[in-house]
Structure 1
Amino acid sequence: MPRSARLLRIMAVLVLVNTGAFGVQLVAGSRWPEPVDHLLSPFVAALAALLCGQALHASAQPWVRRFWRQSAWGMWCIAAALVLRFAQVLTGAGQLVPPLTALQSVGAALLSWAVLRIPLGLRTRAERVALALDLCTLLVAATVLLWHCFGTTALVAFTGGAHSTAGSNVGPIMGAALVAVFLGAKAALAGSERLSRRTLSWRAVAALIGGMGSAVSVLLTTRPDVDAQTLLFPLASFTTGLSAAFHLKDGAAGTRPAGRRRRYSVLPYLAVAGVDALLVYTAVADTADRLLVVAAAVVLTGLVVVRQLIAFGENDALLTRLGRQERQLRHDATHDALTGLANRALFNERVEAALRDPAGRQRVSVALVDLDDFKSVNDTLGHAVGDGLLVAVAGRMRANVRAGDTVARLGGDEFAILFQDCDGDAVDGALARIAEAVQIPVEVEGHLLVARASFGVVSAGGADLEGDLLRRADIAMYQAKALGEGGFQRYRPGMEARANQRVRLAAELAAAVDEEQFVVHYQPVVTLPDGRLTGAEALVRWQHPVRGLLGPGEFVSAAEETGLIVPLGRYVLREATREAAGWDGGRTVAVNVSARQLQREDFPADVAAALRDSGLPAHRLTVEITESTAVGGGATQDTLRELRALGVRIALDDFGTGQSTLSLLASCPVDQIKLDRSFVPGPGPDAIAGAVLQLARALGIEAVAEGVETAHQARRLHELGYTLAQGYHFGRPEPAAGTRIRRAVTGLTSSRTMVGP
């Protein structure tokens, strides 16, 4: 059994014995010496002080500890005063009265101050006004009831009927009683996150019992042999100790908060009911204080009216907030949180409603919209930039449809548009406007982005379900993606076969990764003009068991969509480093890396493991990334820095076709740029190729020309100053097979072969 429970049981027994003895004395008169009446009171007060001390040591919050510290010291002062009271009664020593009175006053002050400093838990002005009105109601009612019950009796008892001196004698009695009412009301109405409700309630009872002692003594003026303090002090001490015990039980460390002050309390209404009953009695008995009671009833009526008006206002505000929250919840349940567009549930609901209308069914169209290459924005620039782009695209879609049409975000970068009462030409026109608006550059967090979208469109026709419409629109949208980014396709019968083919391709690709059905080919990189082999670029091929050897255009996009590009890229990296380790002359190998790989924290570790297992020096490995991959910050830039720290070279592939090219050269850790084949000189201007070379030289970056297919292009690139090139003119991608690469380049070593006509 906890120590606090044992102390509380001992207190309960002592209080029961003391109360029984007081009852016997009240009924049968005093049957024992007077000091016996005061014997148990100090022990009960001391036990209450011990319980308050336990509550102090078990509390964590500073103000709670202060509350129980003041309570404990207050009870110790009361216990000391009761000891002196016992000694004074036992010996009749009058000199003990002043210290007794001082200790009792200090104890009462400490206990009262602890209650006064309890937080009220008020958050609004209305709550503060309501509490003030409740306290006023209680004090007015208590004043009237106390005066009627004790005032006249006190005057007679303390003045012997001399009403001229009544004020000085009745004042302390009424004052102490009203302070007790105020403290009890404060404790009962207060709210705290660290003191439980029953802890405060029992402390309120203790305050009332302790402060009402003088008033109760007035009722016993005809019994000088009975001292009411011998009953009230133990009861007040016991309820104080009970409050501390409940605090210990309810969680003194604050793990079980009691919450805010209650909005509703029955105490003010009980006070009003008491005054109403007194009003009826004084009217019937025609007592002298009838007018005072009537005045008090009028005041209380006013206080209650004001209190109710405040309560009505709070209820109205609460109902308004609830209505607003209900509307917000209803909106959130049917709208996308990011863009504010309709979500999938609302879109399906509106499509279903449109299909139920036989008259307008043939004029219902659904367009499914998917942003092209949006995942690379998230992978390279981060989700915050991606979200900003989605918000911008959503706003442009909404601005280019009619008010009756529905634009929805189904999830990710997938949108849908419901056109009602709109023929095919009008739908096509709206989609053309949306496609044009989406492609307008938008700046998001300092990045200038250009979005493109693919559209799949289907009209209701014979479709009976909204899900069927979306499925067919999805098939048409993927057909648009397959034909090229930024277009839209209408659904036509037979498109399902191509969609099924795409699904089969993904499944076959997963099996191919598991079975390592891939081979790596290498395209030479040579010097100009002598054609000396300096390295090769690793290019993956799929040795399909049925379709034969497939180029990357057949499967890389599917690998990106399914995430299989990560294990596929890991395979190419290990194969390329293993092959290149056997090349002589310090030749390098370049491996293409996707945005997904760069976003993975373990990619630098994969590179380090491949170099370690193959024995290839790090400076002979070049990692090729695209501009759209390199513009990403965060994880992408961290990965590039870790690769540079390993000694691996970084190349920027397809240079000139992406975004933010110039800023990339200044911020991205690049060792080499590869001029895109579209800028290789042909018959006509070659200013871009020359400008790129000058820019690379100015920044100390190596430049490689890709896509060289003719001797004329090789000669012109050499004249411009290029010293490295690759393309079909020098060799097609082939398996490495050790010396096979060297033989493929042997015939290119003469300058005539390289730059001749």
Structure 2
Amino acid sequence: MQDRPPLFADRAFQTVTALLVVNVGLFLAQEHLGRLWPEPVNWLLVIAVIVPTLVLCRRVQRDPGSSPVVRRYWLTVRIGTSMFVVVAVLRALSGLGAGEWLVPVSVVLHLVGGIVLTGPLVGLPFSARSRARKLGVWLDLGTLTSAAGLLIWHFAASAQFADGRVTGYRVFAAVVIMGAGLNGVYLAAKVVLAGVDSFARRGLYWIGASALIGGLGSAVSFLHPHQPQGNLLVLVLPFAAYAAALGARMQVVDTAAGARPRRPPRGYSLMPYVAIATVDLMVVYHNVRGTSNGMLIDGVAVALTAIVVVRQLIAFRQNDALLARIGVQEKRYRYEATHDMLTGLANRSLFSERVTAAVAEAGPDTLISIVLIDLDDFKVVNDTLGHATGDALLVHVAERMQEAVRSADTVARLGGDEFAILFEGVEAADVESALTRIAAALLEPALVDGEPMTVKASFGVVDGHGGDDAGDLLRQADIAMYEAKARGDGGYERYRPGMEARGAENNRRAAALRTAILEDQLVVYFQPVVTLPGGRITGAEALVRWQHPAEGLLGPGAFIDAAEQTGLIVPLGTWVLRAATREAAGWPGELTVSVNVSARQLRQPGFPALVAAALDESGLPARRLTVEITESVAVGGGATTENLQGLRDLGVRLSLDDFGTGASTLTLLATCPVDQIKLDRSFVPDGGPDAIADAVAQMARAFDLDAVAEGVETEEQAIRLTGLGYEKAQGYWFARPMPAADLRARLTTADVG
């Protein structure tokens, strides 16, 4: 807000202030010294005060910073105030002997001017917005005007009939006195209680003061039209005009400063109580002194009592409504503090409270089961389909969980994709049944935000009893959940002593693996892929090993799980891809290299671009690279499908690894853009039935795919696979995984192509 300009820095305002002081001084001089000049001179002084006021009103009316409503209002003030200039002129002319008829005309014009000035103030809206509050304000105004009417009647209007004579003029005089006085009081109160945003509040208050001065002053001057030394209007009109001038000046000053209007403070609600106190004093005065208006005073007192009763009833109702709203808000705040706003489930705070209460209230033999649940690969949903779909999936999961448990069980969302369930007094077998129902329900395909989805989750379970430490139980459930998640196949894991040590070992292993990637402790071994039955090498599969500085050469079983859990599988897979393509670029002929890709890698945005960069860096043609994926990865949908198509567009070959162990379906083979399928080693014939191996070979031929058998360890297996139609194989019978240098040496002597 800018600084306000000085109030008296306006010449017109300085002029009207000086003229008011002169007018008051001259009026008081005549009161003490007698008439010093003809009465028309007094009316000329009134005109001299009103004219600068009109100038100030005109400035507000034309102020571009004021709103149209404000400008229209001040135009009305100018028009009404101009009428009082005419009133003063008529009174001056009457004093000069121009005609007695000018006085009645001036009275009529006086009333019209008052009506013109009254209209805009009557139209001001109340600050109260609700119907009940508006009714309360009207009752307050009724109280105030009733008390004011009693005072004006008792001390002013009733004096017209003090001698008992009733004439038309006296009735008219009484009506004018009552009307002018009540109008002034009402308008002043209306301004105080008004709620307008366009007017400067200080300026509006002075407009109310102008109305009060003009109304009460006009009533008094009509009561005593001929003071010994002149008409009281010569003092009332300049004061009313000056209050209007002050309001106009403050409107301009506050508008220029950008002052924001303020709503009326609560202290103004004391006005009706002041009115009631005044009437009570009138009652006491009547009882002590006795007056001719006793009946009226008592009647007004009774009426005000009735108004106060109604006003209090309304206030009680408003208070009840306010308390009800506060109660609703309090419940809402309490709910929001203890519940998850997305799913409506209990949040972490409420779940912890209920676990603490459960172990505190339960007996030593009462079983308490806590289950922590984490959705597998939920981040991929957010990254590929957006957070809106992710939120919809969380709501779907929450509904499925609540449907699978009792109403007495507490289901909570702890944050992100982590949920929890508290079972009290439920046998371990029943808990397992509930978790089985939840897992099955989440695996049922559901349309979530327009996307068909299934969810796999990992459950960590811990059983406790009354008196156990709630914090320890939650920590143990968390350890069990991460143990279940480490398996990578969903399902649940029940906490067992010693799991902490395994968790610590996984963390240590993950930290060491991160160092291994940075310090090039990893090496790539290669296992040849050969033709059947001749055994000619057509390529090799890249297999990562860790040359641990203390533990020696480690196979993937020692560190892949840790890499999957921590997300290190992505940089690890990238390292293997680049190392394998660099090595294969130096192989002779059209030998291919196969690289395994994890689900996390294939869901990464831009994965085909990463593969293209590795091919460009090594110089290996795309047709000589085979990316191997598992069946569970192939059905991932979303970004996975897009990335698979992107690899095909590069010219990279795709292979379904461990075929037969996952969700193998004809639909998968028809929709997934693969070039070959690899029979899992568990289905390689070893003296037993070969139905699965035969079926896989037939499917490969039906879809025009290459069929490769892995895990071939004996000559008999190689012969049987050849008979089933397999054209390629790999396994210990042909060659074990070997370092790159050994493979290069073998390629110089072996039959390749």
Instruction: Give the structure-1-normalised TM-score.
Output: 0.75
- Distance in 1 (CA, whole Å) between partners of 2:628 and 2:198 is 62
What is the CA deviation profile of residues 486-525 of structure 1, one whole-angstrom value per residue up to 9, with x for unaligned ones? 5544444333321221121122122223323334456778
> What secondary structure is seen at the aligned counterpart in 2 of 1:453?
strand
| 2:376 equivalent to 1:373 | yes
| 2:458 equivalent to 1:453 | yes
| 2:135 equivalent to 1:126 | no
- Distance in 1 (CA, whole Å) between partners of 2:83 and 2:422 is 85
| 2:314 equivalent to 1:313 | no
> What secondary structure is seen at the aligned counterpart in 2 of 1:361?
coil
Structure 1 contact 527–534 (Cα < 8 Å) conserved? yes
Cα drift, residue 194 of structure 1:
6.0
Query: Which amino acid is the alignment partner of residue 69 of structure 1?
Result: R
The verdict on how the C-alpha distance between 1:632 and 1:74 changes in structure 2, with shifts beyond 3 A counting, is farther
- Distance in 2 (CA, whole Å) between partners of 1:524 and 1:557 is 25
Alignment of 1:171-186 (within 5 A): 171=175, 174-175=178-179, 177-186=181-190
**% identical aligned pairs:** 43
Instruction: State the partner residue of 1:230.
Output: 238
Candidates 360, 365, 375, aligned match of 2:363: 360
User: Structure 2 unaligned runs (5+)?
Assistant: 713-717
Candidates 542, 548, 556, aligned match of 2:546: 542
- Distance in 1 (CA, whole Å) between partners of 2:661 and 2:291 is 103
Cα drift, residue 476 of structure 1:
3.5
Instruction: State the partner residue of 2:195.
Output: 191
Cα drift, residue 452 of structure 1:
3.9
- Distance in 1 (CA, whole Å) between partners of 2:593 and 2:132 is 76
> What secondary structure is seen at the aligned counterpart in 2 of 1:313?
helix
When the two chains are superposed, the root-mean-square deviation of aligned CA atoms in Å is 5.2
- Distance in 1 (CA, whole Å) between partners of 2:261 and 2:730 is 75
Query: Which amino acid is the alignment partner of residue 140 of structure 2?
Result: D
- Distance in 1 (CA, whole Å) between partners of 2:745 and 2:117 is 96
Larger radius of gyration, structure 1 or 2?
2
- Distance in 2 (CA, whole Å) between partners of 1:559 and 1:141 is 87
The verdict on how the C-alpha distance between 1:100 and 1:542 changes in structure 2, with shifts beyond 3 A counting, is farther
The verdict on how the C-alpha distance between 1:7 and 1:497 changes in structure 2, with shifts beyond 3 A counting, is same
Cα drift, residue 557 of structure 1:
4.0
Structure 1 contact 521–734 (Cα < 8 Å) conserved? yes
| 2:33 equivalent to 1:27 | no
- Distance in 2 (CA, whole Å) between partners of 1:529 and 1:199 is 105
Alignment of 1:410-429 (within 5 A): 410-420=414-424, 426-429=427-430
The verdict on how the C-alpha distance between 1:37 and 1:414 changes in structure 2, with shifts beyond 3 A counting, is closer
* Worse-matched range after superposition: 595-604 or 544-553: 595-604
The verdict on how the C-alpha distance between 1:343 and 1:149 changes in structure 2, with shifts beyond 3 A counting, is same
- Distance in 2 (CA, whole Å) between partners of 1:680 and 1:260 is 87
Cα drift, residue 623 of structure 1:
6.8
Candidates 58, 65, 69, aligned match of 2:65: 58
- Distance in 1 (CA, whole Å) between partners of 2:129 and 2:723 is 80
> What secondary structure is seen at the aligned counterpart in 2 of 1:546?
coil
Instruction: State the partner residue of 1:74.
Output: 76
* Worse-matched range after superposition: 36-45 or 529-538: 529-538
Cα drift, residue 2 of structure 1:
5.9
What is the CA deviation profile of residues 138-173 of structure 1, one whole-angstrom value per residue up to 9, with x for unaligned ones? 44444444444443457899xx97633555555555
Structure 2 contact 150–300 (Cα < 8 Å) conserved? yes
What is the CA deviation profile of residues 601-621 of structure 1, one whole-angstrom value per residue up to 9, with x for unaligned ones? 676775665566556677877
Query: Which amino acid is the alignment partner of residue 455 of structure 1?
Result: G
Structure 2 contact 177–222 (Cα < 8 Å) conserved? no
Candidates 469, 473, 477, aligned match of 1:473: 477
Structure 1 contact 680–706 (Cα < 8 Å) conserved? no
> What secondary structure is seen at the aligned counterpart in 2 of 1:543?
strand
The verdict on how the C-alpha distance between 1:369 and 1:187 changes in structure 2, with shifts beyond 3 A counting, is same
Cα drift, residue 473 of structure 1:
3.2
- Distance in 2 (CA, whole Å) between partners of 1:257 and 1:586 is 84
Alignment of 1:652-691 (within 5 A): 671-672=673-674, 675=677, 677=679, 683-684=690-691
Cα drift, residue 69 of structure 1:
1.8
Candidates 263, 269, 276, aligned match of 1:272: 276
> What secondary structure is seen at the aligned counterpart in 1 of 2:269?
coil
> What secondary structure is seen at the aligned counterpart in 2 of 1:672?
coil
Instruction: State the partner residue of 2:512.
Output: 508
> What secondary structure is seen at the aligned counterpart in 2 of 1:439?
helix
Structure 1 contact 680–708 (Cα < 8 Å) conserved? no
Query: Which amino acid is the alignment partner of residue 336 of structure 2?
Result: D
- Distance in 2 (CA, whole Å) between partners of 1:531 and 1:115 is 106
* Worse-matched range after superposition: 164-173 or 298-307: 164-173
What is the CA deviation profile of residues 548-585 of structure 1, one whole-angstrom value per residue up to 9, with x for unaligned ones? 44444543443343333444344445445555665676
What is the CA deviation profile of residues 667-698 of structure 1, one whole-angstrom value per residue up to 9, with x for unaligned ones? x9x6436647459897215557756876x67x
Instruction: State the partner residue of 1:39.
Output: 48
- Distance in 1 (CA, whole Å) between partners of 2:428 and 2:490 is 16
> What secondary structure is seen at the aligned counterpart in 2 of 1:558?
helix
Structure 2 contact 410–422 (Cα < 8 Å) conserved? yes
- Distance in 2 (CA, whole Å) between partners of 1:285 and 1:9 is 52
- Distance in 2 (CA, whole Å) between partners of 1:430 and 1:9 is 85
The verdict on how the C-alpha distance between 1:343 and 1:288 changes in structure 2, with shifts beyond 3 A counting, is same
Query: Which amino acid is the alignment partner of residue 371 of structure 2?
Result: L
Candidates 326, 345, 349, aligned match of 1:345: 349
Structure 2 contact 180–218 (Cα < 8 Å) conserved? yes
The verdict on how the C-alpha distance between 1:117 and 1:91 changes in structure 2, with shifts beyond 3 A counting, is closer
Query: Which amino acid is the alignment partner of residue 429 of structure 1?
Result: D
- Distance in 2 (CA, whole Å) between partners of 1:726 and 1:222 is 129
What is the CA deviation profile of residues 424-458 of structure 1, one whole-angstrom value per residue up to 9, with x for unaligned ones? xx223322332233322262334242434333324
* Worse-matched range after superposition: 205-214 or 519-528: 519-528
Alignment of 1:603-752 (within 5 A): 610=614, 613=617, 647=650, 671-672=673-674, 675=677, 677=679, 683-684=690-691, 703=705, 705=707, 708-709=710-711, 711=718, 715=722, 728=731, 740=744, 743=747, 747=751
> What secondary structure is seen at the aligned counterpart in 2 of 1:218?
helix
- Distance in 2 (CA, whole Å) between partners of 1:354 and 1:272 is 61
Query: Which amino acid is the alignment partner of residue 499 of structure 1?
Result: G
Structure 2 contact 80–116 (Cα < 8 Å) conserved? no
- Distance in 1 (CA, whole Å) between partners of 2:563 and 2:539 is 27
The verdict on how the C-alpha distance between 1:274 and 1:552 changes in structure 2, with shifts beyond 3 A counting, is farther
The verdict on how the C-alpha distance between 1:623 and 1:68 changes in structure 2, with shifts beyond 3 A counting, is farther
Structure 1 contact 81–100 (Cα < 8 Å) conserved? no
Instruction: Give the structure-2-normalised TM-score.
Output: 0.76
The verdict on how the C-alpha distance between 1:368 and 1:149 changes in structure 2, with shifts beyond 3 A counting, is same
> What secondary structure is seen at the aligned counterpart in 2 of 1:222?
coil
Cα drift, residue 311 of structure 1:
1.6
* Worse-matched range after superposition: 538-547 or 583-592: 583-592
What is the CA deviation profile of residues 358-394 of structure 1, one whole-angstrom value per residue up to 9, with x for unaligned ones? x823544443333352435555555445545544555
Cα drift, residue 656 of structure 1:
8.4
Alignment of 1:48-447 (within 5 A): 48-51=57-60, 53-54=62-63, 57-58=64-65, 65-77=67-79, 115=121, 118-120=124-126, 122-152=128-158, 163-166=167-170, 171=175, 174-175=178-179, 177-192=181-196, 201-223=205-227, 224-226=230-232, 227=234, 228-249=236-257, 251=258, 258=262, 265-282=269-286, 284=288, 286-356=290-360, 360-371=363-374, 373-375=376-378, 376-394=380-398, 397=401, 406-420=410-424, 426-440=427-441, 441=444, 443=446, 444-445=448-449, 446-447=451-452
- Distance in 2 (CA, whole Å) between partners of 1:242 and 1:77 is 20
- Distance in 1 (CA, whole Å) between partners of 2:160 and 2:655 is 101
Aligned length: 718
- Distance in 2 (CA, whole Å) between partners of 1:97 and 1:214 is 15
